[in-house]
Structure 1
Amino acid sequence: MRAAVFPETGPASVLRLVDRDLPLAAAGEVRVRIVLSAVNPTDTGTRAGRGVPDGVAPPRVPNQDGAGVVDALGEGVSDLEPGDRVWVWDAGYGRANGTAQEYLVLPRHQVVRMNDDVPFEVGADLGIPALTAHRCLTLVADGPARLAPGALDGRTVLVAGGAGAVGNAAIQLAKWAGATVLTTVSSKEKAALALAAGADAVIDYREEDVAARVRELSPGGPHVIVEVNTANLDLDLDVIAPGGNIAIYVGGKFSVPSFKAMLKNVSLDFVLTYTTSPEEKANAVAAVAEAANAGAFRVGEEAGLPIIRFPLDRVAEAHEAVENHAVGKVVIEVTAP
Structure 2
Amino acid sequence: MKAIVYEETGSSSVLKLQDKPLADPGPGEVRVRVVVSGVNPTDWKSRAGGGGSTPLAAQKVPNQDGAGVIDEVGSGVTGLSIGDRVWLWDVAWGSNEGTAQEYAVVPAAKAVPLPDAESFDTGASIGIPALTAHRALTSNEDGPARLSPGALAGRTVLISGGAGAVGHAAIQLAGWAGATVITTVSGDRKAELARLAGADIVINYRTDDVVTAVREAAPGGVDTIVDVNAPANIHSDVQVLKPSGTIAIYAANPGESVTVPIRESMTKNIRYQFILTYTVTDEQKQHAAAAVSEALKAGAMRVGEEHGLPLTRFPLEATAAAHDAVEQGTIGKVLIDVTPSS
Range of TM-score over shorter length: over 0.9
* AA matched with 2:333: K
In the other structure, the counterpart of 1:157 is: 157
CA distance in 2, matches of 1:241, 1:303: 30
**Shift of residue 80, structure 1, vs aligned partner:** 1.1
In the other structure, the counterpart of 1:335 is: 339
Q: Is the 1:87–1:113 contact (alpha carbons within 8 Å) kept by the matching residues of 2?
A: yes
In the other structure, the counterpart of 2:205 is: 205
**Shift of residue 58, structure 1, vs aligned partner:** 4.4
* AA matched with 2:239: D
Deviations 1:268-314 (Å, cap 9, x if unpaired)? Answer: 11000000011111111111111112111010011110010000011
Q: Is the 1:61–1:92 contact (alpha carbons within 8 Å) kept by the matching residues of 2?
A: yes
CA distance in 1, matches of 2:30, 2:8: 28
Tell me the TM-score normalised to structure 1 length: 0.97
1:312 aligns with 2:328: no
Deviations 1:34-59 (Å, cap 9, x if unpaired)? Answer: 000000000000110149xxxx7441
**Shift of residue 136, structure 1, vs aligned partner:** 0.3
CA distance in 1, matches of 2:78, 2:331: 40
SS in 2 for 1:223: strand
SS in 2 for 1:224: strand
Question: Which piece of structure 1 moves more, 2-11 or 77-86?
Answer: 77-86
- Output aligned runs, 1:234-253, within 5 Å: 234-251=235-252, 252-253=256-257
**Shift of residue 6, structure 1, vs aligned partner:** 1.0
* AA matched with 1:229: N
In the other structure, the counterpart of 2:76 is: 76
1:130 aligns with 2:134: no
Q: Is the 1:9–1:58 contact (alpha carbons within 8 Å) kept by the matching residues of 2?
A: no
* AA matched with 1:265: N
CA distance in 1, matches of 2:139, 2:156: 14
CA distance in 1, matches of 2:50, 2:205: 30
**Shift of residue 264, structure 1, vs aligned partner:** 1.1
**Shift of residue 32, structure 1, vs aligned partner:** 0.4
CA distance in 1, matches of 2:36, 2:282: 26
**Shift of residue 126, structure 1, vs aligned partner:** 1.4
SS in 2 for 1:173: helix
* AA matched with 1:292: L
1:274 aligns with 2:278: yes
SS in 2 for 1:216: helix
- Output aligned runs, 1:47-196, within 5 Å: 47-50=47-50, 57-196=57-196
**Shift of residue 325, structure 1, vs aligned partner:** 0.4
In the other structure, the counterpart of 2:258 is: 254
Kindly tell me: are residues 151 and 12 of structure 1, through their superposed partners in 2, closer, same or farther at Cα, counting changes over 3 Å? same
Identity of aligned residues (%): 58
In the other structure, the counterpart of 2:219 is: 219
Q: Which has the higher strand share?
A: 2
SS in 1 for 2:8: coil
CA distance in 2, matches of 1:50, 1:24: 33
CA distance in 2, matches of 1:254, 1:118: 39
CA distance in 1, matches of 2:246, 2:66: 30
In the other structure, the counterpart of 2:298 is: 294
* AA matched with 2:199: A
**Shift of residue 81, structure 1, vs aligned partner:** 1.3
**Shift of residue 73, structure 1, vs aligned partner:** 0.3
Number of aligned residue pairs: give it: 333
* AA matched with 1:234: H
SS in 2 for 1:241: strand
Deviations 1:186-245 (Å, cap 9, x if unpaired)? Answer: 000100000000000100000001100000000011100000112211110000111110
SS in 2 for 1:219: coil
* AA matched with 1:242: P
**Shift of residue 250, structure 1, vs aligned partner:** 1.3
SS in 2 for 1:21: coil
Deviations 1:307-326 (Å, cap 9, x if unpaired)? Answer: 10000011111011001100
Unmatched runs of 5 consecutive residues or more in structure 2: none
Deviations 1:11-44 (Å, cap 9, x if unpaired)? Answer: 0111100001111011111000000000000000
Unmatched runs of 5 consecutive residues or more in structure 1: none
* AA matched with 1:248: I
User: Following superposition, which runs of at least 4 residues in structure 1 exceed 6 angstroms of deviation?
Assistant: none
CA distance in 2, matches of 1:90, 1:72: 20
**Shift of residue 78, structure 1, vs aligned partner:** 2.9
Kindly tell me: are residues 192 and 110 of structure 1, through their superposed partners in 2, closer, same or farther at Cα, counting changes over 3 Å? same
